Amino acid sequence: MKKRVLAAVSILFFTLLSGMGEAFVPTTPHLLHLVMEKIKQPVGIEAYQTKKIINYKDTEKGVVELEEKLSFLYPNRFRSQIISDTTTGFSVESEFRFIKVMGAVTVSQEKAPVDLYTDILLYRDSELLLDQLTLAGVDTTVVSFQRYNDTICYVIGRSLEKGKPFAGLWIEKDTFLPIKYVVEKNGWVIEFFYKNWQQISKTWYPMQGNIFLDKQLFAIIDVNTIDLTSNFSLSLFDIAYIEQLYPKSNPDTLDENTKQVNELDKRIDDFKKLYE
């Protein structure tokens, strides 16, 4: 009898021991749920940041620096506004629509690939973020372990092609904080890095970030101040109202400052020309 008990215990022990070597990998919905439990969704966030855009075209002016105000009204409203005495510009994402205004005219109704970095900051509901990742071209059926520098991460997505970077979202295994987001749009690979996550009340926000286009540094982001607030006028996010105020652009009517910012914003479209 004792031999049978010892045999059963031994079998159970070695079964458990062998299973310990196989790390648990959650599904994408479960993983995003854990991320949302970590970073939380507040009512609203107001952040002021400095964005330094690397200007490779103008060698005498290597960096163009923009001061921006970001307003998040959750679950899915976002406004980014340039703070400048000489340039008027803002973009709004609301109810899954987008509009960009420069110099008092509408210049785009499609979110530029370099602006996709706000997906991770805006969509703090697991189902909404899952939809956004899918729209961005990420294969959300695949979750794996990958190493980023010395950090072990869960990665949602798969390699674009054999030997090429992953298109996906890197989530730090121990903290469940997103640290890297990679998408492929119009033939370009765009990488977003989220750094120095800080806790504000119950929510979290990255205070620094980088954007790379095909391994070339495009922008450096530093958040100066951040506050939790919901004191926003809904008209700031009303795209139908904004469309009435700002007609579509005529390129001949744009001022020089607006043309410069517009050109930088569209660098993703003529990136190769800047290096030829």
Max intra-chain CA distance, the chain? 94
Collapsed DSSP state (helix, strand, coil) of residue 243: helix
pTM: 0.81
Tell me: the pLDDT tens digits for 27-77? 999 999 999 999 999 999 999 999 999 865 555 667 888 999 999 999 999
pLDDT at 250: 61
State the Cα–Cα distance between residues 193 and 191, nearest whole angstrom: 7
Tell me: the pLDDT tens digits for 178-229? 999 999 987 889 999 999 999 999 999 999 999 998 888 999 999 999 999 9
State the Cα–Cα distance between residues 30 and 36, nearest whole angstrom: 10
pLDDT, mean over the chain: 83
pLDDT at 94: 94
Tell me: the pLDDT tens digits for 92-128? 999 889 999 998 899 999 998 889 999 999 999 999 9
Asked if the model's pLDDT at residue 12 lies above 90, the reply is no
Using alpha carbons only, how large is the chain's radius of gyration in Å? 22
* Mean local confidence (pLDDT), 218-242: 95
